[in-house]
Each structure stands twice: as C-alpha cells, then as structure tokens.
Structure 1
Amino acid sequence: MCRSQHSSALPRRRGEQIRTPAGELDLSGATAITQISPGQAGEVFDGYRRVDNITDEILSIYQQALGVDITKDDIFYFVYGQLHDPGYREAYETDLKKMLPHIETPTDRRRFDQLTAAGRELVELHVNYEDVEPYPVTVDVKKTADPGDRETWRVQKLRWAKRTDPDTGKNVDDVTTMIYNSKVTIRDIPEEANHYMLGSRSALAWIIDRHQVKKDKASGIINDPNDWADEIGNPHYIVDLIAKVTRVAVETVRIVDTLSEDTE
C-alpha cells in the first residue's frame, strides 16, 4: 500500500483588491492593494475581483499539447492529482522540500486524463470532508456510561491504544483503535487510513493532536474542542469527525494507489 501525502496547491481562484485610479471616488470602502492584471477581469465582491489562477497562456499551452477541449478546470485538477502521484513525489522529493513544485507540461493525454480524474475526486474529498459518508468504525461505550449523557462524549485527550510489536516486544501505537476517553473507545479503524499523511503526521494523528483540552500557560486561556460540539448541539461531533476523516483517508489512499499502476 503506497503512502499518500496531502499537498497544498494554489486555489482555483483568488481575490485581488481593487485599486481605484488617482482622482476617482472609491465607494468600496476597501484599502487599495493592487491593480487588476490585464485579461483577468472577473466578478467583484466587497472591493475584491475574482481572478482565475489558471491563465489564458497556460490554457493555450495545454490545449496545443493535448487538445482544444482541455479546460482550465481540467488543468487545476490535473495539477492536484499530479501533486499526489507517488512517482512524482518520489522523483522530486528533495526539491519539494526546498521550493514550490514545478510541473512539466504533459504530453500523454491518457495520463493527463487519469490524473485529472483522480485530482477531481481528491479535491471533492478534501474540500468537502465533513460531508462524506462516515467510515463504519465501531464505537464502544462502556456499559456503565450513559450514551445520552453529554459527559460521555467529552474529550480530554485522544490517544491510540497500544499493542505489542511481535518483532521487538515493545509497546507501539495500535492505529486501528483510538481511546476517545475513559468511557468510549473507537475500534476497527483501517490500518491504511494512517497512510494518508498531512506533512509528517497522518490525518488521524492530527485529529488526536488537535482535539485535546489545552491551557495556554502565558494567557491562561483554555482551548477546549468540546466547545464547538456544544455550540452546534452535536455531542457526537468529534466521533463523527473521526469517522469522516477515516473515510477520507481510506478513499485518498485508494485513489493514490491507482496512480501508481501501469497506465500502458
């Protein structure tokens, strides 16, 4: 099973703040920052104009290389797919640690279409992760705990369960089981879910790190992830989030694995 790593990419579009020419009245109430680039006119919202990050020049280059039916959206999804391609990541591993990624203009239409389709799926997963079907993890609640009690679902500090490594005899993280709190345990997390990496950690490891009650020593401010669950009136929010991120991770690994297959 190949490992996937989430990649940050330039957004599909960006907002440029409009600069009012000298001597003209600015009714937007916005502070000027930049002139709009030639040929990049777009819709204006609150003093910002929406600008396409895929330029007409790049579109022309790709259409000449691959066909006139190529669209700017195709190019965007292709880039997102390419940045998740294990072969690309391995080939340029050193460079990617030091600089922004560089992607050559593709010449193989079939490979371009494959990466574009994969990129489209990945974007949908990563952008709309809270709307995916939760992975059917098993949520065990102790018999002495009341599932209807809000306190049953409060998080203090998530952690992995432990297991004994048969080769070393040492205790290691069991990434198939998460200790939610003293009353709740989440089981049957697919091991491959932890192959989806966000930088140096898996997506689920980030959930563990971020969803714990912390107190800032300097300010005394307490960061409590349970507050959001209370605010939206869903005591199971963090449990649901774990199941959804598990789904996203499993599906990401599945998609990325197809990019490693021989395309001939």
Structure 2
Amino acid sequence: MITNVIPDLEMISKGQYFPLYLYEKISSEKQDLFTHSSLQSGYQQVDGITNETLTHFQNTYKNKICKADIFYYIYDVLHCENYRGQYKDNLSKQLPRIFLAKNYAIFTALSQAGRRLADLHLNYESALPYPVTFLGTLIHKGTDFVNARPEHFYARKMKFVKKEDRTRVIYNDFITIEISQSVPTYNYVVNGKSALEWVIKRQSVRQDKDSQIKNNANDWANKTMDNRGYPLELVQRVITVSLETMKIVAEISQLGEIETIALAEAILPVSHLL
C-alpha cells in the first residue's frame, strides 16, 4: 500500500510506515537557516532514505542512483512473488530484509517497475474502468445505461450472487456486475483480501453498533466526487488496477537470478524510516 499524503495515526498504527520523506519540526529561531522551499508550515522535509543507504547502493552498482530509485526499488521488491514466498515466515514476524539485485540492469528494471506500480496504485481513481458485463433490470447499451436515474447507482451492500461464485457481484437491486471467469480479478491481494473485495465491502452503507454513527459511501460519491455512479466505477477501476498490478508482478518475476543479501544497518536503516 502506498500514499502520497501524510497518513494519520489510525492508518499507520497497525502496520509499518516507510516514507520517502519525513517532516521534522523546526524551532522559530532556526528557521532562518533553511530556505523557504525546504519548509512547510514550520517543518523541514528530510529524506527517509539515509545518505549511508544511498552510498551503499551507489558503491554496489557503480552507477548514478538517487534515493527515489531506491524507494521505488523497495516498493517493487515488496511486491515480488518470489521474495514474498521465500521470506513468508520472516515477513510475518519482523521488518523486511531487502535483497540487492544481482546487477545494475536488474536493479533499474525493478526500480522502474516500482514506479509503475506506485503510479498505478496512487492514481487508481484515474484508471480506465474495466469493461465488465452489466446484468439486471437497468439496461446497459454501448457505454452507458438507458434511462438511468441517480437512485439506480445507490450502493447499500454489494455481495456475490453466490459465495462460491465470484464472477457475479450484485451491486444493488438494479445492477449486477458480471466478470469473466478467465479474468484473474482477485489475484491482487492487500492485507489478506483482494483489492476488489475491499471495495465491495467498503462501498456500502454501514452503521456502528455502539455509536450508531452511519458510514455511507454514497455521501462521498455525491458530495465529494459529485458522481453518484462513483462506487460502480470504482469497482471497474480497481479491476483494471488489479490486473495491471499482476502483469507488472509477472514481469518482474522473469528478470532472472537475484542475489539475496541479508539486510544490514548500512543497507537499509529501518529505524530511520519509521
């Protein structure tokens, strides 16, 4: 998972957080020492990747490498199926140990793939909606629904037609989404559940039993996105993101032999990244 905004405590309290940048508060008497461009509301932007880490990678590959290259390399490595399979037990108990690619060409390929993954995941709302088949009473022709009204897109609780059949999702009383069985829609897994299943679960109307506070995804669609069909489009966009993610993951698994080297403080000082 990746974000391009500063996350709140709730987002990172139950996991690990590895930022490209950190923001350190600067006292007023020291602010004159820094240029305006390096400060944001009294905070100085500093790199999450240390100079020691950068030097280690540069010395290893004897090429020009920047800290962003390393950041996206790590993001890609964490998606590598071979890596996740080989170190499954370790990853469930401790912080990741990041291996070094066998040569600069493989490092560059992994880093570039990491940038593609990051761009895909950060801009999921801009992904092209996947062309699913629409069933149900609301007729769909060409690229749009026929005589659709705002209430036709209200998402109360999406669910599978059958638990054992995930090719059809009941969006609401008017729309059912059908996905070809040959499409590996659910292979992209985030925190134990496929990305699409997270969307199906969260794009709904839920009420907390204790506080009775209602969480209505349709409010976000209407008021923030100004698009009542946002939940439906999000399902389609996340299918695209899932499929494109797995394409990139498949590509990086074909890059050849990777030399695995145990993590040392000089390679990736995790304590500095937190």
Q: TM-score, normalised by structure 2?
A: 0.78
Contact 2:135 2:175 in 1 (8 A): yes
Q: Residue 229 of structure 1 corresponds to which residue in structure 2?
A: 221
1:246 has 2:239 as partner: yes
Contact 1:141 1:184 in 2 (8 A): yes
Displacement of 1:50: 1.0
Larger Rg: 1
Cα distance in 1 for partners of 2:255, 2:72 equals 20
The counterpart of 2:105, out of the listed 101, 110, 113, is 110
SS at the partner of 2:78?
helix
1:260 has 2:268 as partner: no
Contact 1:9 1:80 in 2 (8 A): no
Contact 2:170 2:177 in 1 (8 A): yes
Q: Residue 184 of structure 1 corresponds to which residue in structure 2?
A: 175
SS at the partner of 1:84?
coil
Displacement of 1:120: 1.1
Cα distance in 2 for partners of 1:53, 1:256 equals 25
Q: Residue 68 of structure 1 corresponds to which residue in structure 2?
A: 63
| 1:184 alignment partner AA | I
Q: Residue 155 of structure 2 corresponds to which residue in structure 1?
A: 155
Cα distance in 2 for partners of 1:215, 1:186 equals 25
Displacement of 1:202: 0.3
Number of matched pairs:
235
Contact 1:133 1:244 in 2 (8 A): yes
Cα distance in 2 for partners of 1:19, 1:139 equals 58
Q: 1:160 to 1:215 in 2, by over 3 A?
A: same
The 10-residue stretch of structure 1 (144-153 or 53-62) with the greater mean CA deviation from structure 2: 144-153
The counterpart of 1:79, out of the listed 74, 82, 87, is 74
Q: Residue 33 of structure 1 corresponds to which residue in structure 2?
A: none
Displacement of 1:68: 2.7
Displacement of 1:140: 3.2
**Gapped regions of structure 2 (runs ≥ 5):** 3-15, 140-144, 258-274
Cα distance in 2 for partners of 1:87, 1:150 equals 46
The counterpart of 2:189, out of the listed 180, 185, 197, is 197
Displacement of 1:106: 3.6
Cα distance in 2 for partners of 1:255, 1:262 equals 11
Residues 165-180 of structure 1: matches in 2 within 5 Å?
172-180=163-171
Contact 1:42 1:51 in 2 (8 A): no
**Gapped regions of structure 1 (runs ≥ 5):** 1-5, 28-35, 163-171
Contact 1:86 1:256 in 2 (8 A): yes
| 1:194 alignment partner AA | Y
Displacement of 1:19: 3.5
Question: CA offsets, 1:110-155, max 9 Å, x none?
Answer: 2212211211110010111111112112233515897431111101
Displacement of 1:230: 1.5
Percent identity of equivalent pairs: 36
Please give the root-mean-square deviation of Cα atoms over the aligned residues, in Å: 2.6
SS at the partner of 1:192?
coil
Cα distance in 2 for partners of 1:105, 1:263 equals 13
Residues 90-169 of structure 1: matches in 2 within 5 Å?
90-143=85-138, 147-162=147-162
Cα distance in 2 for partners of 1:263, 1:57 equals 28
| 1:80 alignment partner AA | Y
Q: TM-score, normalised by structure 1?
A: 0.80
Cα distance in 2 for partners of 1:128, 1:11 equals 18
Q: 1:45 to 1:143 in 2, by over 3 A?
A: closer
